């Protein structure tokens, strides 16, 4: 079957990854369907910003409701399902652990069970997370690295990962997880620290006298470019056999480096505007996390093309035109 005749169903289509994945699949000739808890009232601003909202078929579905999930999969009859849904913020997961666990672990289980129940040759991609590895003592994490989750979000993602592995092994489903490290873009919501930094730096560059409050600037993360990471998601479902893959740049940078890069874009010294706020520290934190993508390169032919400095530059270029003359965010 060629891509031009394939149908994809994306749970969590309204987020950053859902929007870029939709754009990628449409370019490859897919018919794309997506879900939202209330498709009639959702704004789908990320899809709209990419000018693809009208090309996607939307359905109302709650991933935590098994019959809701079963009905939409039966109705769409997709060739591929991408599960990007669930509460996606590590910080918020400490405040809402139950919602995080249910939306990720139960949501994933409902999709897997629906595929098994329908007995159709559906290929399933599940969004895993590099957060599952926890601290790895300064070593890059690969597909064999043990999970040591340090947040409710990471616990939930770890549970979903093992659900996928169990259904693949027990029932022969074509199901795999992409263990993705941090990947950013202008479509990141502002409650994510990377977009918070970029948005504040852009406002300050335009004259705002605000201070940017951040927690631990010493943490190190592996930051990539989101549009490249959705290519890896798709590539995983094109393999003869389902396998899990780590997707990352393989390079770690401190949050301080990320901040400095954002402010230097407008020739500013970040230390003049950034203040540490102890209240923003998490109950537990990963000091350093980055990934080893040799398996993805060898089997998928995937390699990161954009590293952190260019990621920040692209985000800043996108952010500055969205500010009006007063420095306020334009609608």
- Residue positions annotated with a catalytic role: 129, 131, 153
Distance CA 18, CA 82 (A): 9
Supply 148's token pair.
Answer: 């040591």
Task: Output Rg (C-alpha) for the chain, integer angstroms.
Answer: 20
| Torsion sign over Cα 109, 115, 116, 122 | negative
Supply 73's token pair.
Answer: 């999969």
Distance CA 289, CA 254 (A): 10
Supply 167's token pair.
Answer: 């259904």
HEC readout, 49-68: HCCCHHHCEEEECCCCCHHH
- 185, 317 contact by CB (below 8 A): no
Beta bridge partners of 109: none
Closest to 194 measured CA to CA, from 228, 223, 154:
223
């Amino acid at each position: 079957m060629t891509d031009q005749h394939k149908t994809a169903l994306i749970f969590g289509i309204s987020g950053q990854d859902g929007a870029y994945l939709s754009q990628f699949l449409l370019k490859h000739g897919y018919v794309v369907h997506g879900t939202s808890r209330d498709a009639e009232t959702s704004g789908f601003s990320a899809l709209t910003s990419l000018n693809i909202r009208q090309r996607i078929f939307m359905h109302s579905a709650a991933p935590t409701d098994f019959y809701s999930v079963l009905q939409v999969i039966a109705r769409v009859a997709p060739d591929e399902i991408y599960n990007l849904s669930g509460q996606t913020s590590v910080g918020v997961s400490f405040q809402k652990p139950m919602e995080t666990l249910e939306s990720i672990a139960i949501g994933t289980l409902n999709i897997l069970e629906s595929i098994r129940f329908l007995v159709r040759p559906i290929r399933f991609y599940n969004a895993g997370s590099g957060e599952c590895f926890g601290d790895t003592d300064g070593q890059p994490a690969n597909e064999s690295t043990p999970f040591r989750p340090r947040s409710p979000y990471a616990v939930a993602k770890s549970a979903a990962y093992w659900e996928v592995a169990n259904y693949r092994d027990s029932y022969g489903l074509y199901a795999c997880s992409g263990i993705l490290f941090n990947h950013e873009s202008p479509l990141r919501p502002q409650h994510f620290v990377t977009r918070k930094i970029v948005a504040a730096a852009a406002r300050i560059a335009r004259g705002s006298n605000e201070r940017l409050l951040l927690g631990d600037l010493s943490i190190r993360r592996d930051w990539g470019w989101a549009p490249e990471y959705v290519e890896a998601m798709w590539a995983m479902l094109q393999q003869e056999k389902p396998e899990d893959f780590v997707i990352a740049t393989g390079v770690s940078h401190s949050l301080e480096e990320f901040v400095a890069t954002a402010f230097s874009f407008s020739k500013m010294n970040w230390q003049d505007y950034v203040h540490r706020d102890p209240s923003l520290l998490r109950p537990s934190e990963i000091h350093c996390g980055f990934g080893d993508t040799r398996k993805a390169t060898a089997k998928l032919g995937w390699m990161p093309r954009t590293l952190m400095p260019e990621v920040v530059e692209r985000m800043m270029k996108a952010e500055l035109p969205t500010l009006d003359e007063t420095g306020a965010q334009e609608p």
